[in-house]
Amino acid sequence: MPTSTIVSELRELLEPDQVVTDDDVLEEYSHDDAEWAAYVRPLAVVRARSTEDVTRVVAFAAAHSIHVVPRGAGTGLSGGANAVENSIVLSLEQLTAIVEVNQAERYVVVEAGVINDVLRTEVARHGLWYPPDPASYRISTIGGNVATNAGGICCVKYGVTRDYVLGLTVVLADGSVVRLGRSTAKGVAGYDLTALMVGSEGTLGIVTEVTLRLLPLAGRDERAVIGYFPSLRSAGDAVALVSRAGIIPSALELVDRTCLRAVDEWQGLDLPGDVDTLLLAKLDERGTAGDELADEIARLFGEAGGTSVERAGDADEVDRLFLARRLAYPALERLGPVLTEDICVPRAAVPEMLARIQATAAEHDVVIANIAHAGDGNLHPLIIAPVGDDAAKERAKRAFDRIVADCLDLGGTVTGEHGVGLLKLDGVGRELGPRVVQLHRAIKDALDPHGVLNPGKAFPA
């Protein structure tokens, strides 16, 4: 079917302005924020405004053997929302209703296009808290967070997106709509298809509405410990010591000097300029219990080689340093294209993995900056290549592959929260092994036998 006919028929199914074919829009919506992940121009971009819109588009695509690539805000870092051949990009960014906040049962129902920070602000008005807070929380959508099982700074103690998803409204590959999960505190009826959908990157169904579990906002008393370390390895040693001691901070974040310098040059936050690596620990236990844990973390930081360890009593200072952590990625993007890793290793292996990352940077002659959700072993080496330097780009790709191999060698996983997308297909194939990849294919074939939804993503074909 010619593209013009496809566009014309889509406009008959929807409002005409929902189907966009302008060149600049097609280019913008053809890829997410992953550097160097392959993409093509889609046939059209469709901006859905309801679950019914999604069903119409998917049913139309299934009937005409067209692929559908679902997209939230496009903030992904793995190529999971990149357009493929013969595809429609289906944007969910206009599904922005907060349908219900149930204070008594502590859950919220939202459409897929609701921004994470908008949700958090709204439920806070009801004395409730939604913990998952990816670095992109101010711009990423709940639907995208669900698709990749996003984590964030708080996940070391409070868990990731999957831990809060109670139920989903999902459009399947034939255009039918199912309701999965529940709104009760407990429930084990049938297979856990809700959990299956979370992290499936739009390959099994398109999530249009989500029911999320919430926590009480009150009852936490935050305090922070800041450790300054002479090397990545010594900061990693501190992470391993904290884990071995059985302490679970509400956040334990690592930022290296390359990131600190890039953020400070961009934002002028007056960050420490003479430190190699910074560890930021946050605790939220109340009273003397919190003070004792903070003292113990400070002691462990010193034991690991921290040259300076401070108990942060100034909330503004803590916020400033955590802001530096959140701004690290966009700050580095100003220096050149950034190839972002998202590996996760056992906490005891964090020191060794950080040492191997440094060795990889030297071996391949590339700049690798480091940020990490260090408390749960989720490391984000950021490989920078100057614009237009093809040789550096190739070295960056080899370094990327080496880091994945080292991660697997240490018993880790190739993605902690960004998803497989297109960038990690080879690595996830090695991690899962042939038989488990076959199971993935069987599930995909059962739910999407004609390969309509986001083909070629999440696991090797």
All domains of the chain, ordered by start, with CATH? Answer: 3-91 (3.30.43.10), 98-216 (3.30.465.10), 223-409 (3.40.462.10), 424-461 (1.10.45)
Spans of the chain, pLDDT less than 50: none
Q: What is the pTM of this model?
A: 0.95
Distance of alpha carbon 238 from alpha carbon 80, whole angstroms: 34
Considering only CA atoms, give the Rg of the chain.
22
Structure tokens at 37: 């992940």
CA atoms within 13 A on the CB side of 429: 12
CA 135 from chain center: how many Å?
Answer: 8
pLDDT at 315: 73
pLDDT at 286: 87
Cβ atoms of 384 and 337 closer than 8 Å: yes
Cβ atoms of 92 and 104 closer than 8 Å: no
Cβ atoms of 157 and 248 closer than 8 Å: yes
pLDDT at 445: 98
Could you tell me the end-to-end alpha-carbon distance of the chain, in angstroms, rounded to an integer?
A: 26
CA 295 from chain center: how many Å?
Answer: 32
pLDDT at 313: 65
pLDDT at 188: 94
- Spatial neighbors of 431 by CB under 8 A, at least 6 apart, are 408, 413, 414
Sign of the CA dihedral with 34 first, then 357, 428, and 419 last:
negative
> Which 3-state string (H, E, C) describes the chain?
CCHHHHHHHHHHHCCHHHEECCHHHHHHHCCCCCCCCCCCCCCEEEECCCHHHHHHHHHHHHHCCCEEEEECCCCCCCCCCCCCCCEEEEECCCCCCEEEEECCCCEEEEECCCEHHHHHHHHHCCCEECCCCCCCCCCCEHHHHHHHCCCCCCHHHHCCHHHHEEEEEEECCCCCEEEEECCCCCCCCCCCHHHHHCCCCCCCCEEEEEEEECEECCCCCCEEEEEEECCHHHHHHHHHHHHHCCCCCCEEEEEEHHHHHHHHHHHCCCCCCCCCEEEEEEECCCHHHHHHHHHHHHHHHHHCCCCEEEEECCHHHHHHHHHHHHHHHHHHHCCCCEEECCEECCHHHHHHHHHHHHHHHHHHCCEEEEEEEHHHCEEEEEEECCCCCHHHHHHHHHHHHHHHHHHHHCCCECCCCCCCCCCCHHHHHHHHCHHHHHHHHHHHHHHCCCCCECCCCCCCC
Cβ atoms of 83 and 201 closer than 8 Å: no
